[in-house]
Amino acid sequence: MKAHYVTEDICLEIKQGESLLQACKRTKIPLSHSCEGMASCGTCRVIVTKGVESLPERNSLEQEMADDRGFAPEERLACQMEPTEDFSFKLPYE
């Protein structure tokens, strides 16, 4: 599947079972991840701009963070999200 990073107009391939964070690291997209993908910091939060309805539901770690911080449905943790369909995203500060 493909993820389109809209800010830089970069399309990255995400391998099956790979998180968005892993794909971003592999393709050198500068996505913060202070807890190294453990879902405890929230610095890898992204905003899904297209295709949010086709993404897998949040796992328990991501849901806990979303509940604690009041995330909107389009706000996702890249370290926990393993997409199964194409989508587009941007970083929250862009």
Residue 7 CA to residue 58 CA, distance in Å, equals: 24
pTM here? 0.93
pLDDT tens string 23-48: 999 999 989 999 989 999 999 999 99
pLDDT at 19 over 90: yes
pLDDT tens readout for residues 48-62: 999 999 999 999 999
Q: Are 55 and 74 in contact, with CB atoms under 8 Å apart? A: no
pLDDT given at position 93? 84
What is the average pLDDT across 67-93?
96
How long is the chain? 94
Q: What is the pLDDT of residue 90?
A: 97
Q: Are 62 and 20 in contact (CB under 8 A)?
A: no
Give burial (CB, 10 Å; 0-12/13-18/19+) of 44: buried
